[in-house]
Structure 1
Amino acid sequence: MPSIDDVRRIAAELPGSEERDTTAGPAWFVRNKAFVWECRAWPSIPTDLREIIERELVVGVKLAQPIDARALREMQPDVFLEQTTRWGEPKVAFRMAGIDADHLEELIIESWRVQAPRYLRREVDDRLGFASDS
């Protein structure tokens, strides 16, 4: 099972990534925009989700479209949680126990891409051999 240290390592490799300690726990930002964070059991979160977050490590990522969150939830409902809060939509929270290392890396990189400016995305695209967006 990946840990928060795995999140930290993956995020640290992305240009412009900055880790911050927030009231909700560690979070990673690019150009002051959050792209991955540890979820905490806030009172405003529905009780069933709050109980999961209290028992195990849950991480959230920013997504490009609401349909992306819905697709992940439908493909793996035991891993990807229903909406935790309305803040920062679209996003998805997932149980780290259900994510393998490759999928975790993919989720973090894609989330970073959603928030990163074009010039930083090009840097990663060049490094990973992706076709750059214009």
Structure 2
Amino acid sequence: MATWDDVRRIALALPEVEELGTYGGSTSWKVKKKLVVWERPLRGRDLADLGWTEQPGPVLGARVPDLGAKEALVAEDGVYFTTPHFDGHASVLVHLDRIAVDELEELVTEAWYAAAPPMVLRRHPR
């Protein structure tokens, strides 16, 4: 299963990605100031909305291409989920300790394509 070291390695291998700390001490990876993936500890409201008493492990936030992709991932297999905080936003939450490294690599790469501005995409086409 994946770790934060895997996220860091995969994200920083993508063009023009930088790693940044956030105000809460979490880490995010951005391309031209656009979030690609980020560490997303669950807040009290998130836990209440999910009916959980505590965070079940590390949680990664990731951009996705659109709401349809989000719905498909969340419907899949218990690796991906969302909270009302992210309603209407093209991103998913990921149980990091439940995702295989190769699937994480695909997710982070797709998140990069979803977040990268057009000028960056032109410099680094698929």
**In the aligned structure 2, how far is the partner of 1:55 from the partner of 1:64?**
26
- Alpha-carbon spacing, 1:113–1:5, altered in 2? closer, same or farther (3 Å): same
Matched, 1:28 2:34: no
CA shift at 1:48, angstroms?
Answer: 5.6
Unaligned 5+ segments in structure 2 are none
**In the aligned structure 2, how far is the partner of 1:67 from the partner of 1:83?**
16
**In the aligned structure 2, how far is the partner of 1:124 from the partner of 1:99?**
27
Cα deviation per residue 1:72-93 (whole Å; 9 max; x = unaligned)?
A: 11121x2111325237811000
Structure 1 SS opposite 2:83: coil
Q: Percent identity?
A: 31
Unaligned 5+ segments in structure 1 are none
**Cα pair 2:28 2:35 within 8 Å, conserved:** yes
Name the structure 2 match of 1:79. Answer: 79
Q: Which amino acid aligns with 2:108?
A: I
Q: TM-score when scaled to structure 2?
A: 0.85
Question: Mean Cα displacement is larger for which, 21-30 or 105-114?
Answer: 21-30
Q: Which amino acid aligns with 1:36?
A: V
Structure 2 SS opposite 1:85: helix
Name the structure 2 match of 1:98. Answer: 98
CA shift at 1:53, angstroms?
Answer: 6.6
Name the structure 2 match of 1:12. Answer: 12
Name the structure 1 match of 2:40. Answer: 39
Length, aligned pairs only: 125
Q: Which amino acid aligns with 1:94?
A: V
